[in-house]
């Protein structure tokens, strides 16, 4: 008995999940939930039509075979001509009536045609059979058995297109009653099988009734199992189609996403690298970083570079609230993206107020200069329109220069396409020395313009003439303006832009447990594709025209969307691995096969007991053994189902060891093909043993002697002295039928076993007991009775073989669909993960899911934080040529590897990298505090430092109550210090290799700036989504690194105060001029020679806060003091 989990003795639960998925009520509910019932009915009609085609072939063969045999073996041909005429006319009538069902449009309009034609065909066949027997009974005094009783019942269930199981049962029951009535009225009485006055009369009636009941049970079993298999295959196919549609769209989306950050020619190797890593074991558990060993740098000659700067951007980001700011920037940069696409210019990135792009980068473009200039004029027009609509004081300076550059991606995390080179710097200088409302171009760009009359051109600015860099590179500049007409319908974006991401949610995978009905609306194209796929689903493994070629072993021409065709003769996969996997799959319908086997076994035992003239002890023992064995197997097969029925599906219910033993026995049988084949052969052997007992219990020599005496002494032979041949033949026909119907047994095993049983019985009929069978009823006048028995067995064999071929084809098609589904799901999972990796390299990890959700709702994504620490780390004095860029890539890669640790546990996010400047922020994740305070994370030294710093701050700041998670400042400073350590390690490694290089490739030192405070963040851009942060801390951190000193971490006063509270000393630098803020007090973080923070306790005793540390090699104490003045 089951118990609750509260019991002290640990027991096993009941797992009925997989078996449940193969039950008819579950499959019907699932089809209804997914809105597939109508589509399934249409597919089922197509399947029944295919079965009907097989019936055409079967009935034509059966009619030809029957007519040929009786014409060959009947001693007198004249009485037989009537029978041949009846059979031919009947076949013509039946096939003609059923041909109506091939008109699909007519059947769709009048569905009752399926049932009506099936009833008509079955009754015509029955009435013709009974008419032929009745005619010879009254006309020629021939007592004939029926020819097509079992055949008719089998075709009603297996071939005729009756939609419902109930309709098939009613029709088959009616046919059975008609045949039983004929048997009782004519055949049994004449052959003295029984007399109503005798006690065994009702036993003989029951045997005949049981014969028809068993064939009806066989048909019902076939309909149920076939419906389950077809429904399961149909659901798998639907899921496969949905996965294919999703995968197709996902791959497009993956390419779009990757192309939005990296040009296609560089994106391809990166995409291949992502897929190769996903394919490797254990790689899925690694970080979401894209690149490992790819250095994607390319030289591009003959391009034009555009730099654009939003004037008054700082004021904009500090005065607007986050929603209005994101909406305005999204509108503005979305317009720029669409304009760049119109003018065939590749947007590189935007850095807060700076937006830069390149023409002629993706493919050579002789008009690259004109494209950039026209784009610049368009951007000026756009920003002026945005200024008017939003009433904000913004404008744009633009610089354009033509030349060559190096383009590509560096690092491993947050990949962003970037450009480097002297000409890039020139374009940047042209922008910074330009005038708002004009495009500031170089003389080289002007020379590239073929037509200049459409522009107004003026001399360059005085700032450009005063620029030492421009003079050094001999750059002459011009101001350019012109008229650009904007189409408001083309460039106006709604609240969410034109991002294709909104069309696909990577988490919205089609699953069977999600209600995803076929409904009208936006998904009409998907619904149409589903319906078209359903129409093309194969329903037959062999067509009438292919039957001849199948015998030659040709491959099936049925299109099954699979690379492994099915051999037409043996119906096995040409791929042996796939065939083996098909054969060894679990049989979750084993319980239904055992129920049918038990019913048939009990029926055969009953028939044997009734038919035995003198039951022997061995007969009783075998019958008892067969009953007990079949009952035990039945209990094992149904025990889990019974427990599920009785005690429900609660996982809290556990079962004792005896129940668990039965569960394990059931699971072992279900999962092992060899055990199922052994049980299958054992059951058939048991059945045939019962037949052999009945046959061997007859003394055929005594029967033969009595026959001779009856002829000599002119008395009627008692046919009841031996077994009834037609009872035995019907039992054998039943065994042949169940041997082909048993589920999940290899088709060739069924065929071989059934042929063996048929051969043995043919030997019994035509050789060993030929005399007995010869004296039984025949089916046609002058037709030998033993031939009639043999023909009954052969027609049953052919009928079941063709049925099983068709069913086996459907089963294998369903299995192939499930295999293809698993492959599609694996591909979809990889694509899903690839998209996640790409998204995580565009957006911070915590933003990805929320961002996709907001896109699905057609909303903008933005967020606002009370405390975020922002860092700019700039590598100075690195020449941006190809050789040094490769070395820069190695440094950035080391920084990114360090970021992996901080990103996973301390939510430090890489925002962007520009040239040699590395921007990061800490505190952008709302779950930051949960991660920091999570006690289940692995032991980490930095975590201990953070906890120690928090304890110091709490002890020194008793009066503060508001929790702003200001420990992000300490984490950011620690990350900055680790960057300095990493750079020192890299430099030392290259110093050891200096003998291999002509000059020092790494001459770069690092200047770092950090600021903290309230920050706004969001995703903006149309075709190129970009995550950025805005606010005073961002501006101040940028100023800190630009006004800082090499080898120092330069911080604002607010940040210094917080660091001191966390136990990190900061040295007062003095009043530093900062653009946009004037002179403000700034500080250097105190660091010793070993790159460790100097604790506050050591410096709190010092009276002079302005003295420098020994590490400050760039400036001594006097120089620092002089800057204070």
pLDDT at 858: 54
pLDDT at 634: 94
Q: Answer with the residue of higher pLDDT: 526 or 316.
A: 316
pLDDT at 495: 44
Count Cα neighbours of 186 within 13 Å in the Cβ-side half-sphere.
24
Strand order in the sheet with 3-4: 3-4, 653-655, 12-13
pLDDT at 157: 94
pLDDT at 476: 93
DSSP code of residue 500: G
Question: Tokens in use for 1014?
Answer: 């309230």
DSSP code of residue 1064: B
Question: Phi and psi of 1002, rounded to 5°?
Answer: -110, 90
SS3 content of the chain, % helix, strand, coil (to 5): 60, 15, 30
pLDDT at 355: 86
- How deeply is 1003 buried, as exposed, middle or buried, from its count of CB atoms within 10 A (0-12, 13-18, 19+)? middle
Distance, in Å, from the CA atom of 126 to the CA atom of 120, rounded to the nearest integer, reads: 10
DSSP per residue, 35-77: T-HHHHHHHHHHHHHHHHHHHHHHHHHHHHHHHHHHHHH-S-S
Residue 213 has pLDDT above 90, yes or no: yes
**Helices 747-763 and 673-696 sit at what angle, rounded to 10 degrees?**
10
pLDDT at 929: 42
pLDDT at 1020: 74
3 state SS of 296: strand
Count Cα neighbours of 10 within 13 Å in the Cβ-side half-sphere.
0
DSSP code of residue 982: H
pLDDT tens per residue, range 1010-1028: 999 988 888 776 556 677 8
Query: For the chain, first and last CA: distance in Å?
Result: 90
The percent of residues above 90 in pLDDT, for the chain, comes to 29
Which residue spans within 2-139 are E strands per DSSP? 3-4, 12-13
- How deeply is 138 buried, as exposed, middle or buried, from its count of CB atoms within 10 A (0-12, 13-18, 19+)? exposed
Distance, in Å, from the CA atom of 607 to the CA atom of 288, rounded to the nearest integer, reads: 71
The position carrying tokens 């992996």 is: 900
Distance, in Å, from the CA atom of 1020 to the CA atom of 1028, rounded to the nearest integer, reads: 8
∠223-229-230 over CA atoms, to 5°?
85
CA 11 remoteness from chain centre: 35
Question: Tokens in use for 455?
Answer: 């522009």
Mean pLDDT of all residues in 1067-1090? 90
3 state SS of 332: helix
pLDDT at 733: 94
pLDDT tens per residue, range 13-71: 888 888 888 888 888 888 888 888 888 888 888 888 888 999 999 999 999 999 999 99
Mean pLDDT of all residues in 995-1020? 74
**Dihedral angle over CA of 1035, 1036, 1042, 1048, nearest 10:** -140
DSSP per residue, 177-218: HHHHHHIIIIIHHHTTS--TTSTTHHHHHHHHHHHHHHHHHH
Enclosing H/E stretch for 307: strand 296-311
Residue 897's CB is within 10 A of a number of other CB atoms, namely 15
pLDDT at 1076: 76
DSSP per residue, 389-424: HHT---EEEEEEEEEEEEEEE-SSSS---EEESHHH
Distance, in Å, from the CA atom of 1052 to the CA atom of 1039, rounded to the nearest integer, reads: 10
The whole-chain average pLDDT of the chain stands at 78
Question: Tokens in use for 598?
Answer: 């038990």
pLDDT at 938: 46
Residue 587 has pLDDT above 80, yes or no: yes
Strand partners, 871: 920, 1010
pLDDT at 45: 85
Q: Answer with the residue of higher pLDDT: 181 or 501.
A: 181
Residue 697's CB is within 10 A of a number of other CB atoms, namely 17
Distance, in Å, from the CA atom of 298 to the CA atom of 418, rounded to the nearest integer, reads: 11
200: left (phi over 0), alpha (psi -120 to 50) or beta: alpha
């Amino acid at each position: 008995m089951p118990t609750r989990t509260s019991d002290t003795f640990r027991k096993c639960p009941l797992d009925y999940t997989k078996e449940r998925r193969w039950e008819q009520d579950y499959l019907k509910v699932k089809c209804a939930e997914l809105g597939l019932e109508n589509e399934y009915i249409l597919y089922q009609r197509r399947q029944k039509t295919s079965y009907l085609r097989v019936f055409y072939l079967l009935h034509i063969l059966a009619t030809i075979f029957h007519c040929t045999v009786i014409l060959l073996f009947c001693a007198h041909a004249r009485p037989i001509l009537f029978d041949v005429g009846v059979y031919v006319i009947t076949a013509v009538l039946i096939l003609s009536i059923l041909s109506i069902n091939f008109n699909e449009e007519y059947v769709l309009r009048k569905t009752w045609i399926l049932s009506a034609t099936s009833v008509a065909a079955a009754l015509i066949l029955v009435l013709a059979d009974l008419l032929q027997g009745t005619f010879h009974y009254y006309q020629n005094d021939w007592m004939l058995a029926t020819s097509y009783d079992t055949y008719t019942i089998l075709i009603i269930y297996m071939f005729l297109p009756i939609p419902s199981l109930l309709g098939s049962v009613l029709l088959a029951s009616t046919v059975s009653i008609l045949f039983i009535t004929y048997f009782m009225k004519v055949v049994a009485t004449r052959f003295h099988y029984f007399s109503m006055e005798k006690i065994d009369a009702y036993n003989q009636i029951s045997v005949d009734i049981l014969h028809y009941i068993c064939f009806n049970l066989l048909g019902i079993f076939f309909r149920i199992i076939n419906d389950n298999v077809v429904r399961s295959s149909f659901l798998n196919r639907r899921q496969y189609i949905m996965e294919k549609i999703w995968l197709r769209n996902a791959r497009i989306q993956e390419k779009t996403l990757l192309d939005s950050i990296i040009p296609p020619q560089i994106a391809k190797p990166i995409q291949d690298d992502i897929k190769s890593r996903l394919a490797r074991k254990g790689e899925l558990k690694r970080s979401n970083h894209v690149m490992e060993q790819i250095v994607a740098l390319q030289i591009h000659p003959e391009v034009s570079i555009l730099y654009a700067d939003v004037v008054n951007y700082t004021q904009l980001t500090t005065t607007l609230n986050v929603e209005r700011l994101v909406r305005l920037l999204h509108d503005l940069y979305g317009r720029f993206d669409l304009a760049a696409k119109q003018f065939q210019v590749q947007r590189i990135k935007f850095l807060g107020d700076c937006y830069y792009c390149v023409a002629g980068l993706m493919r050579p473009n002789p008009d690259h200069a004109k494209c950039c200039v026209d784009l610049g004029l368009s951007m000026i027009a756009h920003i002026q329109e945005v200024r008017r609509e939003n009433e904000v004081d913004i404008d744009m300076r633009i610089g354009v220069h033509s030349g060559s550059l190096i383009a590509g991606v560096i690092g491993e995390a947050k990949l962003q396409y970037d450009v480097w080179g002297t000409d890039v710097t020139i374009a940047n200088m042209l922008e910074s020395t330009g005038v708002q409302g004009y495009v500031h171009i170089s003389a080289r760009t002007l020379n590239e313009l073929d037509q200049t009359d459409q522009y107004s051109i003026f001399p360059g600015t005085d700032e450009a003439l005063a620029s030492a860099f421009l003079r050094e590179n001999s750059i002459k500049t011009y101001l350019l303006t012109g008229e650009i007409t904007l189409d408001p319908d083309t460039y106006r974006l709604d609240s969410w832009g034109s991002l294709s991401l909104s069309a696909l949610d990577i988490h919205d995978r089609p699953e069977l447990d999600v209600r995803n009905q076929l409904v009208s609306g936006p998904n009409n194209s998907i619904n149409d594709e589903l319906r078209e796929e359903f129409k093309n689903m194969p329903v037959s493994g062999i067509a009438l025209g292919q039957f001849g070629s199948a015998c030659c072993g040709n491959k099936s021409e049925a299109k099954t969307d699979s690379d492994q065709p099915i051999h037409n003769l043996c119906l096995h996969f040409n791929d042996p691995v796939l065939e083996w996997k098909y054969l060894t799959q679990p049989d979750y319908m084993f319980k239904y096969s055992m129920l049918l086997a038990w019913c048939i076994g009990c029926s055969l035992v009953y028939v044997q007991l009734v038919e035995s003239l003198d039951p022997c002890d061995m007969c009783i023992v075998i019958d008892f053994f067969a009953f007990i064995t079949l009952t035990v197997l039945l209990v094992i097969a149904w025990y889990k189902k019974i427990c599920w029925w009785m005690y429900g599906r609660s996982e809290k219910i556990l079962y004792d060891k005896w129940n668990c033993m039965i569960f394990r026995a059931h699971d072992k049988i279900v999962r092992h093909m060899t055990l199922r084949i052994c049980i299958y052969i054992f059951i058939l052997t048991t059945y045939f043993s019962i037949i052999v007992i009945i046959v061997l219990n007859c003394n055929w020599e005594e029967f033969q002697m009595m026959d001779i005496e009856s002829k000599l002494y002119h008395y009627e032979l008692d046919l009841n002295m031996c077994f009834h041949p037609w009872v035995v033949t019907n039992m054998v026909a039943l065994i042949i039928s169940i041997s082909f119907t048993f589920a999940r047994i290899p088709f060739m095993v069924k065929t071989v076993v059934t042929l063996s049983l048929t051969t043995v019985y043919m030997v019994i009929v035509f050789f060993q007991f030929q005399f007995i069978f010869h004296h039984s009823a025949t089916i046609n006048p002058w037709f030998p009775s033993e031939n009639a028995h043999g023909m009954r067995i052969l027609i049953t064999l052919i009928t079941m073989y063709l049925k099983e071929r068709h069913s086996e084809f459907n089963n294998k098609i369903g299995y192939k669909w499930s295999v293809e589904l698993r492959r599609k799901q694996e591909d979809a999972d990889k694509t899903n993960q690839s998209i996640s990796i790409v998204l995580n390299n565009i957006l911070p990890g915590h933003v990805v899911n929320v961002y996709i959700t907001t896109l699905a709702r057609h909303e903008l994504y933005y967020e606002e934080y009370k405390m975020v620490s922002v860092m700019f780390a700039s590598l100075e004095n690195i020449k941006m040529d190809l050789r040094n860029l490769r070395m820069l890539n190695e440094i950035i890669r080391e920084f990114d590897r360090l970021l992996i640790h901080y990103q996973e546990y301390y939510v430090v996010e890489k925002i962007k990298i520009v040239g040699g400047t590395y921007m990061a922020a800490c505190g952008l994740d709302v779950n930051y505090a949960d991660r920091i305070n999570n006690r289940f994370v692995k032991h980490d030294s930095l975590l201990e430092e953070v906890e120690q710093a928090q304890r110091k701050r709490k002890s020194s700041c008793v009066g503060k109550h508001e929790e702003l998670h200001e420990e992000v400042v300490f984490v950011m400073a620690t990350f900055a210090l680790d960057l300095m350590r990493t750079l020192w390690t890299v430099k030392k490694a290259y110093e050891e290799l200096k003998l291999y290089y002509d000059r020092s490739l790494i001459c770069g030192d690092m200047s770092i700036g950090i600021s903290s405070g309230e920050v706004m963040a969001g995703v903006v851009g149309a075709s190129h989504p970009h995550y950025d942060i805005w606010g005073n801390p961002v501006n101040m951190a940028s100023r800190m690194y630009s006004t800082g000193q090499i080898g120092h971490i330069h911080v604002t006063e607010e940040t210094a105060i917080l660091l001191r509270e966390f136990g990190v000393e900061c040295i007062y630098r003095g009043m530093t001029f900062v653009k946009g803020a004037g002179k403000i007090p700034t500080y250097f973080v105190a660091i010793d020679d070993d790159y460790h923070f100097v604790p506050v306790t050591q410096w709190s005793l010092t009276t002079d806060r302005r003295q420098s540390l020994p590490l400050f090699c760039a400036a001594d104490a006097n120089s620092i003091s002089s800057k204070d003045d």
